Amino acid sequence: MCFYISNILVWHAMLDCQRVYRGLLRLLPAPGYAKGLTGVERDVADVLARHRAAGASVAFFDQDREYLRLHVGTAGKAGPVTADTFFRVASISKMLTAMCALRLAQDGLIDLGQDVNDVLPYPVRHPEYPHAPITFAMLLSHTAGLADGDAYHRGISQRVPATDILSNDSWGAEPGAEWSYSNLGAGLAACVLESMRGQSFERIMQAHLFAPLGVTASFYPQRINGPMADAFRVMPPLGKPGFDAHERRARPLMDADTPNPLLHYSLAQGNCVTDMDGMITIVRALTQPGYLNANSLERMRMPAAPFGQRSPYMRQGMGLFLIDEPGVSPHTIYGHQGNAYGAMHGAFFDLNSGRGMVLLTSGASEAKTHFLSDLNRDLMRLCFAVEQP
C-alpha cells in the first residue's frame, strides 16, 4: 500500500513539473516557421513553432510517395537543417536494433528465446530471482527486470564494465513479469549480439540492416560524412549542446570494429546517427514484408507488456511502441520515440493506411503527457487522424 501511495505522489509531482515546464516554454519567442506556407506544411510548421523546435526535419509518407517533407531552423554549428542533415536519433536506435535482431533470427543466425547467460562472458541474473532466465527477447521488450540505476548512469560516461553495473542498483521486477523501460537492457542487446556472432555490434548492424536497406547510418558519429545536428535543450534556453556533433566526431574510434561485450552496452540504446532518407526507408521496411517477412513483422509488433502507470494508451512490442490513444488515431500506431540532450524525435506508422511519419530535431519541447511527447502527439494527429491530399 505504501509503495502504491508513493508512486501516486511521484506521478503527481511529475505532472506539476510538466505544467510548470509548459508554462515557461510559452514565454520563449515562437519561431516564424509557418510564414509563406499553406496547407499541411503550414500546420506542421505551426506545431514545430508552438513546441519551440530549434531545428527540425519532418516527413509524412506511405510506400508510394511523400505527402510532406519540411526542414526548418538550425542544426547548431552545422548551420540550417536541410535534407542532408544527420541526427543522433536517440532511442529510435532500439527499434533499429530489434529490426536487425529479428532479421538475424529469421535467417537462423540467432535465437531470440535463448537465455543470455548462455552466450555472454559474464552472468546476467536477477539477484532476487537467480533461477529466472533472461532472454534476448526480454531485453528487446523491456521485460528483463533491469533498471537504469545510478551505476548505469555513471557507467555510461566512464566506460565502466557491464559486470560492475549489473552488480549494483540495476534490478527491478522479476524477469518476464512486467514492463520497465531500461536503457541498460536495450544496451546489453548489443553485447549479446556480439557474443552470438563474434563481431562488433557496428559491423553486425552495417552488414545485416544498413547495407541491405541502402541506409547511410552508424552507431559512431565519426563515420558519418555530412552535416550533423547538435542537440540542445530549448528550456532553459541558450545552453551548451548536450550532444556536440563536432566533439563526438573528434573522439577516437577505439574498439568500434572489435567485439567488446563488457563495454559495448552504450550503443544500441541510443547512439545511432542517420538522416531523414534513412529513417523513411527504415519505417517503410516495417510496414510490409520485404526486409522482414510477415512472421517476423508480426513477432516484432506482438505486445509483450503494457506500460502500466507510465501510460494507459501504450504497450511494448519488440523494439516498438504500440499506441492506442483516442484523438491521435482511430487505429493502432506503431513506432518509437527518441529523446536525449534536448532533441525530440519520432518514427511512427499506421498499418491500416500504410502511412508513416518521421520527426528529427536538434532541440524542442520535452513536455510529455504520460510517456509520449506532446510534440510527437500533435504531429501524429496531423499525419494519422487527417486524410492527406
pLDDT in tens, 51-89: 999 999 999 999 999 999 999 999 999 999 999 999 999
What was the pLDDT predicted at 8?
Answer: 39
Q: Say if domain 31-384 classifies as CATH 3.30.460.80.
A: no
pLDDT at 13: 56
Is-contact 334 301, C-beta < 8 A? yes
Is this prediction's pTM over 0.75? yes
Tens digit of each residue's pLDDT (9 = 90 or more) over 97-117: 999 999 999 999 999 999 999
Residue 173 has pLDDT above 90, yes or no: yes
Using 50, 70 and 90 to split pLDDT, how confident is the model at 369?
confident
Structural domain spans, the chain: 31-384
Across-strand partners of 68? Answer: 60
CB 46 within 8 A of CB 374: no
Cβ neighbours for 254, distance < 8 A, ≥ 6 positions apart: none
Predicted confidence at residue 10, as pLDDT, reads 45
Residue 131 Ramachandran class (φ > 0 left, ψ -120 to 50 alpha, else beta)? alpha
Q: What is the pLDDT of residues 221-259, one digit of tens each?
A: 999 999 999 999 998 876 788 999 999 999 999 999 999
Question: Which pLDDT band, with edges at 50, 70 and 90, does 6 fall under?
Answer: very low
Rounded percentage of the chain residues whose pLDDT exceeds 90: 88
User: Across residues 258-272, what is the average pLDDT?
Assistant: 97
Number of neighbours of residue 163 by Cβ within 10 angstroms: 13
